Amino acid sequence: MSSRTQDLAAELRQLIRLASRDPEALEGQLPALASFQRVAAAGDIDEAARVHLILHRLIPEYLERLPAGRDCRAIRELMTWEDADGEPQSLTTRYHKASAHLVNVADDFGRRQEPRLLAECARRFIALDHEDRMADDAGTAAAPPPPALSEDPSLSPLAPLLWTKAEEDHQRRLSAIRSGIFSVSNQEEMLELLLTMTQAAQHTLHAVDRTDLERWFGNARMQWYLEAQLERARERRIRVERLRFIRRDRLAQARERNLLREFIRLHDEAHATLLLCPYDAPGVPQTGFDSRMFMVLVDVETTPACLTGWMGESGYIERSLVYLRGLDPVRAHYADMLRVKEHVILNHYNESFRALLDSHDDPPLSDDDRVSHPPWSPLAPPD
């Protein structure tokens, strides 16, 4: 059975091909988009009007609400099927424009990048639809600026406009939290959320980890997060399990081997489970974890909360989604983690990595070897 994200991504694939060339062919072919709150609120309209509303109101508005980041800029290019003069843009032209926002793009954009971007666009659009539904259900409207703000002659007229925008953003976030899914658009907020999730977990914490080891030990914010997580495991308050992907070629460096030894030691001493899986492991099950995604999932068997994030080409977190209910994506991510865990255990990857570390007699790291990075530094180097 396909998920809502997959269904929507399939519709978006049709849409970017037919929107300017043959919009009539989209009539009756966009049930997922037609179910969105903004479209359903239009009432009983004919199919041609519904397609027009989706193409010329819903999609442009949602594109404007996407956060910054390379992928979101590429998505906007991919879905801009007309230029500024209203002339159709071919899909090939949009491929080239979208590629300009990405790094090290392969020639076969349509096979490698388009499916990934459309899946990300679908996830984002679904999150925005949840926000719209909750805002409409709550009937929330931004409070007007206080009179003192509008009547102060020494204050710029920009102030009441900014007040209204801040109120709208606040109401939108509150509505999204009530709906159980919201997006985060910057690394600083995401790191704060990870620490809050760790502190709020009551039973379990599962993580899919791609953060560079240098950042775990040299980034102050990441250190606080790791220490908080392992401290809760050490005190047996929660059970911590981390699936970490390892690049074998990086372990040719003595420093990288030492950092991994230290990472393993910290988890062992805290009685936390650390599962090591090679990036290039043969036979790894097909999952939704792409090469730049990480995940934190707490209390999966009771009242789950899940944060998924994607690293940009420069190692910064460009986007993340937070789920506060056991929605389909949460169940799918947990099932994927269990499948990879089984593969790691069956192939004895933990034992092979430990044996590799034991086969090298490296001098230990000193305090001077540790490189300090500010909390907002990249979490991983570019591939």
Helix (H, G, I), strand (E, B) or coil at 65: helix
pLDDT band per the 50, 70, 90 thresholds, residue 141: low
Q: In a 3-state reduction of DSSP, which class is residue 162?
A: helix
- Give kind and range of the element (H or E) at residue 312: none
Of 48, 53, 60, 52, whose CA–CA distance to 38 is shortest?
A: 53
CATH number among 3.30.9.100, 3.10.290.10, 3.30.870.10, 3.40.50.300, domain 181-369 = 3.30.870.10
Each residue of 223-246: pLDDT tens digit?
A: 889 999 999 999 999 999 999 999
The string over 162-176, giving b where at least 16 C-beta atoms fall within 10 Å of a residue's C-beta and e elsewhere, is ebeeebeeebbebbb
Closest by alpha carbon to 347, among 283, 274, 267, 260? 283
CA distances from 268 to 43, 198, 234, 261, 277 (A): 58, 18, 10, 10, 17
At 371, is the pLDDT very low, low, confident or very high (cuts 50, 70, 90)?
A: low
Going by their DSSP bridges, the two strands 204-209 and 181-184 should be labelled as: unpaired
- Maximum pairwise Cα distance, the chain: 74
| Residue ranges per structural domain of the chain | 4-125, 181-369
- Whole-prediction pTM: 0.69
23-45: per-residue pLDDT in tens?
999 999 999 999 998 898 888 88
H/E element holding 94? helix 91-99
